[in-house]
Amino acid sequence: MKRPFAMLTATAHAVPKRVFKNDEFRSIGVDTSDEWIQERTGIRQRYIAGPGETLTSLSTEAAREAMAAAGVTAPELDAIILGTASPDRLLPSTAVEIQAALGATRAVAFDVGAACSGWLYGVQVAEGLIATGSYETILVIGGEQLSRIINWKDRNTCVLFGDGSGATVVKKATKGRGILSAYMRSDGTLADLLQRQKGAGAAPITPEIIAEGSHWITMAGREVFKNAVRSMADASDRALDGAKLSAADIDVMIPHQANIRIIEATAKHANIPMEKVFVNVDRYGNTSAASIPIALSEAMKQGVVKEGTTVMFVAFGAGFTWGSMVVRF
């Protein structure tokens, strides 16, 4: 059996109503500046969920739009896979809540925990299911509400992240269009560099944990930066090798939107000019698993990605997890 087994069809996204600009951090007592954030990360603003906005509501909104564009109804879905690190509840999965909201009665639904690589891992799991011949139509969502798991007093992390959700309908490949190469890697020896240390099974939540804030995200910024650049370089090489293509064959690169400097380093390594790289980190911040599908959704709406376009996706996240795909649309 040879690729492509699966193709990405419609993609849509949803974000909270509230825009939070860099200047606003000072007003909540965070010692930072618009200049520092823009220079180090390229981020100007991010969207932050308000009361009543949940991962389920945002993801359901994105899913409905993607399904309408793909001409797929909820009962036709065979599976719903949600990549997330910020579920609405720790139990059950948020994917089953989305299943219920959509009325996708036949779909098997589950979350994938791969942090910022969650959507990319989810698409590759969907590809495997479709390759078995038992699944035809799968909704893959990357969605986060990182604003609810960051420490709003920690300037090392709170300026980086944002909320949102992106949904893609994955179907059986036709006429050579679809996923041409796919690559996933993990390295759990580096888990402590980007984590929520306490507050779950190994260290159940206590008043002390809440007081010290060890249930929020913590990050060793420089180490994460170095590993992100190294891993995304590896992933971009593997994407091209797997698809037997060269950098010149790639029309558009859609990397995980963590930081403009990481994106530029990845593009440079892959020998892909920045004109071909889709960037929206300035408007959304790092939305983790949602970042690639939000960028793909915008790229499709703008006509940057259309039928015939060859796209390279590259992801990296906590774990560490990383991976890539080349897809012909």
Restricted to residues 277-306, the positions that interact with ligand COA (CB under 6 A) are: 286
Q: Is 156 in the site for ligand COA (CB under 6 A)?
A: yes
Q: Hey, is 183 helix, strand or coil? A: strand
Please report the beta strands in the chain, taking only residues with DSSP state E, as ranges in sequence order: 6-14, 18-21, 45-48, 79-83, 108-112, 137-145, 163-172, 178-186, 194-196, 217-219, 252-255, 310-317, 321-328
Instruction: Give the residue numbers marked as catalytic.
Output: 116, 256, 286
Q: Is 152 in the site for ligand COA (CB under 6 A)?
A: no
Q: Is 40 in the site for ligand COA (CB under 6 A)?
A: yes
CA distance 240 to 115: 24
CA distance 165 to 313: 17
**DSSP-assigned letter for residue 306:** -
CA distance 182 to 309: 17
The strand pairing partners of 21, in sequence order, are 45
CA distance 153 to 254: 31
Q: Is 185 in the site for ligand COA (CB under 6 A)?
A: no
Smallest separation, CB 210 to ligand COA (Å): 23
CA distance 204 to 200: 5
Q: Is 2 in the site for ligand COA (CB under 6 A)?
A: no
Applying CB under 6 A, the span of 1-9, 172-180, 222-230, 265-273 interacting with ligand COA comes to 222-230
Number of residues that bind ligand COA (CB under 6 A): 22
Smallest separation, CB 31 to ligand COA (Å): 7
Q: Is 224 in the site for ligand COA (CB under 6 A)?
A: yes
- Tell which one of 3, 19, 32, 279 touches ligand COA (CB under 6 A): 32
Q: Is 222 in the site for ligand COA (CB under 6 A)?
A: yes
Residues near ligand COA, by CB under 6 A: 32, 36-37, 40-41, 116, 155-156, 159-160, 219, 221-222, 224-225, 228, 258-259, 262, 286, 316-317
